[in-house]
Amino acid sequence: MVLGVGRRARNLEEFGANMGALAGLTEPAPRHAVTPQDGDVYITSWAKSGTTMTQQMFHQLRMVAATGKTDMDFDDISRMTPWEDTATILDMDMNAPQRAHPRGFKSHREYERLPAGSRYIVTLRDPHETFVSMHRFFDGWHLESGAIPLEEFMPLWLGGGPGGCDYFTHLLSWYARRDEDDTLLVTYRWAAKNQPAMIRRMAGFLGLDLNEEDVAAVAASTSREFMHEYKDRFDDAMVCAVMDEKLGIPASSDSTKVQAAGSDKKSVPEAIAAEIDRMWAERVEPVTGHADYASLAAEIDARTG
């Protein structure tokens, strides 16, 4: 039986109906929640802020450290680093053995809603870029192509994805932890442009020994070109299968998170950009002293080195 509206959403109400149908697919069970273990790592960037790239980097890094080789023998990167906020949708055992140590999990949550005593890897991104990127991601998959233009997308952007929070709550939570030993906080642009340096920093953060050949191997498998070539591994294949079966949304939809080119914040409509800037001025600037994302990113990049 097809649930929800039986197709891609054409408006916000239909999107809500489809998401509500997915949320009710499986009764919550203990296996759907992470039982914390020492050494657990959460890759917990905000939506469309580098999560997929960081998942891939983390998984390849730990596999090279454990086996001497990279590993692309999977259908969905989120099977390698599971996402607790989709566990009931997928009926996934969050505590199933992983291929290498440490265990890694995907999240879009702020610090306060993750298990204390873990380690956290976070990449930050310009909010205007995340707005465009999220719209590109939803349009033609969750949403009928062109049904909800950028001008009407703000309510979905504010949601932040399953189990997430709004952009500003996430940013402030992790900015406050920028000096904590359990948190690796960088900007997405820095990590993408300086992948070998990011890999070395992540390896040190995780306590894994890599030589320069290892670093090069991980960098090669984390490049935009490589990930685009293997984009079927980064397109939410597990969620796509469930949406095909339960919502009537074809699994062949373009759900890939790896685009050939990045998102251009200049395409954000003027009124939307002004509203994002207003929220930044109201919520972020008084806490951080930074009038915009570029200023905050400059601080984080300077601390990264």
151-200, pLDDT tens digit by residue?
999 999 999 888 889 999 999 999 999 999 999 999 999 999 999 999 99
Q: State residue 292's pLDDT score.
A: 98
- Asked if 125 and 193 touch (Cβ cutoff 8 Å), the reply is no
Q: For 8-19, what is the mean pLDDT?
A: 95
Q: For 258-264, what is the mean pLDDT?
A: 58
Q: Cα separation of 4 and 25, whole Å?
A: 11
Q: For 84-107, what is the mean pLDDT?
A: 97
The pLDDT tens digits for 146-162 are 999 999 999 999 998 88
Flag whether pLDDT at 69 surpasses 70: yes
**pLDDT above 90: percentage of residues in the chain:** 90
- In 3D, which of 159, 208, 168 has the Cα closest to residue 61? 208
- 250: how many CB neighbours lie within 10 A of its CB? 12
The crossing angle, in degrees rounded to 10, of helices 51-67 and 212-220 is 140
The pLDDT tens digits for 206-237 are 999 999 999 999 999 999 999 999 999 999 99
Question: What beta strand segments (E) does the chain contain?
Answer: 41-43, 104-106, 119-124, 183-187
Both tokens of residue 126?
């310009």
Contacts for 69 with CB less than 8 Å, ≥ 6 apart: 63, 217
CA 191 to the chain's CA centroid:
14
Q: Cα separation of 305 and 302, whole Å?
A: 5
Q: State residue 257's pLDDT score.
A: 55
Sign of CA dihedral 283, 284, 286, 290: negative
- In 3D, which of 89, 85, 90 has the Cα closest to residue 110? 85
pTM for this structure? 0.95
- Asked if 58 and 202 touch (Cβ cutoff 8 Å), the reply is yes
The pLDDT confidence band at residue 256, using thresholds 50, 70 and 90, is: low
Q: For 198-203, what is the mean pLDDT?
A: 98
The pLDDT confidence band at residue 253, using thresholds 50, 70 and 90, is: confident
With vertex at residue 44, the alpha carbon angle to CA 40 and CA 49, rounded to the nearest 5 degrees, is: 150
Both tokens of residue 254?
């373009």
Q: Cα separation of 99 and 110, whole Å?
A: 26
Q: State residue 110's pLDDT score.
A: 98
The pLDDT tens digits for 120-152 are 999 999 999 999 999 999 999 999 999 999 999
| Residue 157: burial class (beta carbons within 10 Å; 0-12, 13-18, 19+) | buried
Q: Cα separation of 163 and 149, whole Å?
A: 24
The pLDDT confidence band at residue 254, using thresholds 50, 70 and 90, is: confident
Q: State residue 258's pLDDT score.
A: 60
Q: State residue 261's pLDDT score.
A: 54
Q: Cα separation of 231 and 263, whole Å?
A: 17
The pLDDT tens digits for 21-31 are 998 888 999 99
**pLDDT above 70: percentage of residues in the chain:** 97
Q: How far is CA 305 from CA 35, 215, 260, 298, in A?
A: 35, 18, 28, 11
Q: Which residues pair with 42 in a beta bridge?
A: 105, 120
The pLDDT confidence band at residue 255, using thresholds 50, 70 and 90, is: low
- In 3D, which of 224, 231, 184 has the Cα closest to residue 203? 184
Q: State residue 164's pLDDT score.
A: 87
Q: State residue 260's pLDDT score.
A: 54
- Mean pLDDT, the chain, whole residue set: 94
Helix (H, G, I), strand (E, B) or coil at 154: helix
